[in-house]
Structure 1
Amino acid sequence: MQLTSPINKIINHLEKIQSFNAQDPLDDTRKYLETMTLQLSEKKEPVAMIEELNVPQENHQIPIRIYRPKGKRPENSSAIIYIHGGWFIAGSFETHDAVVRKLANQTGSVIIFVDYRLAPEHPFPAGLNDCIDIVKWVADHAKSLGIDRNQVGIIGDSAGGALATSVSAQVGELLKFQALIYPAADNQLNTKSWETYETGPVLNKEGGIQAWEWYHPEGKNNPDPLAVPILIKDFKNTPPTLVLIAEHDALKDEGEKLAQHMKNAGVSVQTSFYKDMVHGFMHMGAILNETQAAIDEIAVFAHENLEQ
């Protein structure tokens, strides 16, 4: 494995992040992700406005954060729903704040960030249901949100890529595009890339096995394709899709396989390979130029599929 100097710098930095709570691996994972993103993300860009809402459901509320981009705002803006990564067990408004601000400004779209319920407190399908419910809610409340309900896309990174894939397979008729950033798609963790990167960088197999068990406890014996999207057979609702793959990423092979499954099903799929990159590189803009390159590519794809 030949890693570039910036990537080695990042790995050295990550190795210095001390364990926060070794007795509680869940708490430790959540705090580690927060620290990594805080320390390696670029300075946060200003946006025009950030609003936080709690969307009421039958037995709970779904927190969302709405980012309105800099510049003139049209009455009926395009919108992008963002579903965050974190192995289905971590991630929050704050872990992805820097990335989402950049996406809002670069795409010119309103970004709606979903703070879906996390495992293991809320295993599958709780988080997926939250994401589907927010897509439907945005369509139903588009006018009051200042959004054109016919100009909505979705982005998901890592575990969020798995969730976005399943959302699109269910309610893709409400979406104009999806972008999947190094998606987690398979709970088997038995690909060649998992063999190569079993102990990192960034991800490790032991943590991945535990995360999937927390998220989808029945997954080993009775996997649900909506939890494990590599198993999805019917992509009939899926809109045009962009898949970003990182070279030195344990999830590389399953991301490429998921993209191929979509292509085989007749979905318009564009795959982009980020040479030398590691999992999570979207959070490493303080060191990597590729973070901005990926933001730019997603923005171009969004503009191609949205009327702006």
Structure 2
Amino acid sequence: MQLTSPITQIINHLGKIQSFNAQDPLDETRKYLDAMALQLSGKKEPVAMIEELKVPVEDHQIPVRIYRPKGKTTQKSSAIIYIHGGWFIAGGFETHDAVVRKLANQTSSVMIFVDYRLAPEHPFPAGLNDCIDIVKWVTDHAEDLGIDESKIGIIGDSAGGALATSVSTQVGELLKFQVLIYPAADHQLNTKSWETYETGPVLNKEGGIQAWKWYHPEAESNPDPLAVPILIKDFKNTPPTLVLIAEHDALRDEGEELVQHMKNAGISVQTSFYRDMVHGFMHMGEVLNEVEKATFEMAAFAHQYLRTTEK
């Protein structure tokens, strides 16, 4: 594998990250993602306002963070629900803060970040149910939130891409578009790209196997397509979709296969291939210009389907 100088610089940096006082492998993974995002995401863009709420559902509350883009003047804004990655076991408000701020400003949309329940404390379908509940909540409370309920999209990265894919098959009629950023789609980790990038960069197969076991313990014997999107047969309700694929990513092949399944089902899908990039590159804005490029591309796609051009 031929890696560019910036990517090599990043990989060398990642190799030096040490999680402070990690208690176990799960804690190590969570702290590693925190450190990577903090150290490599770059300067955080200012936005007009950030609010944090806890949305009550049956037996718990779902934390959400609402980002209102700078310079927004319209009363009823478009909105994008963001579902974060982290192998279903890590990630939260702070790991994706820089990414979501950029997207809010470039899309001129209110970004609603879902802090869904994580495995292994809350295995499938807890996190998925939280994401579905928030899509419904945003739609039901659009007027109170200052949102146009007819202009709502969804974005998910990595594990969040898997969740977004499944969310769209359940409540896609409420969504105008979907963006999947290097999505996780298959629990088997047996593609050619997994063979090539078994030990990295960024992801490793051993960690991936453990994460899937924590998220969907029944996957080996009875995998649920809503947990493992590569198995989805019916993409009913799925809105027009953009999928970002990274070249040097263990998830590359399963992402491309998921795209093909969607196309076979008649879904409108665009693929954007990011040459030289690694998994998680959206967290690496301190070093990589491609983060800006990807943000602009996602914003253009969003505007196409939200029909919002106001700044």
Please tell me the TM-score bracket, short chain as reference. Answer: over 0.9
* Alignment-mate amino acid for residue 94 of structure 2: E
**Which 5+ residue runs of structure 2 have no aligned equivalent?**
none
Residue 8 (structure 2) pairs with residue 8 (structure 1): yes
Q: How far did 1:23 drift?
A: 4.9
> 2: CA distance between counterparts of 1:254 and 1:73?
41
Q: How far did 1:307 drift?
A: 2.3
**CA deviation vs aligned residue, 1:9-50 (integer Å, no higher than 9, x gap):** 000000001243565000000000000000000200000000
> 1: CA distance between counterparts of 2:67 and 2:240?
24
Q: Relative to structure 2, which stretch is displaced further, 20-29 or 195-204?
A: 20-29
Matched residue, 2:27: 27
Matched residue, 2:131: 131
> 2: CA distance between counterparts of 1:193 and 1:169?
27
Q: Determine helix, strand or coil for the equivalent of 1:179.
A: strand
Q: Determine helix, strand or coil for the equivalent of 1:226.
A: coil
Alignment of 1:92-107 (within 5 A): 92-107=92-107
Q: Determine helix, strand or coil for the equivalent of 1:99.
A: helix
Contact 2:19 2:35 in 1 (8 A): no
Matched residue, 2:290: 290
Q: Determine helix, strand or coil for the equivalent of 1:52.
A: strand
Residue 148 (structure 2) pairs with residue 148 (structure 1): yes
> 2: CA distance between counterparts of 1:236 and 1:72?
34
Matched residue, 2:249: 249
> 2: CA distance between counterparts of 1:227 and 1:261?
16
Contact 2:22 2:31 in 1 (8 A): no
Residue 22 (structure 2) pairs with residue 17 (structure 1): no
Contact 1:78 1:307 in 2 (8 A): no
Contact 1:197 1:204 in 2 (8 A): yes
Contact 2:52 2:65 in 1 (8 A): yes
Alignment of 1:36-185 (within 5 A): 36-185=36-185
Alignment of 1:228-307 (within 5 A): 228-307=228-307
Say how many residue pairs are matched. 308
Matched residue, 2:197: 197
Q: How far did 1:97 drift?
A: 0.2
Q: Determine helix, strand or coil for the equivalent of 1:119.
A: coil
TM-score, scaled relative to structure 2: 0.98
* Alignment-mate amino acid for residue 60 of structure 2: H
* Alignment-mate amino acid for residue 123 of structure 2: P
Q: Determine helix, strand or coil for the equivalent of 1:165.
A: helix
Contact 1:93 1:115 in 2 (8 A): yes
Following TM superposition, where does structure 1 have runs of at least 4 consecutive aligned residues deviating by more than 6 angstroms? Answer: none
Q: How far did 1:72 drift?
A: 2.8
Q: How far did 1:58 drift?
A: 1.2
Identical residues among aligned pairs (%): 83
* Alignment-mate amino acid for residue 59 of structure 2: N
> 2: CA distance between counterparts of 1:285 and 1:141?
34
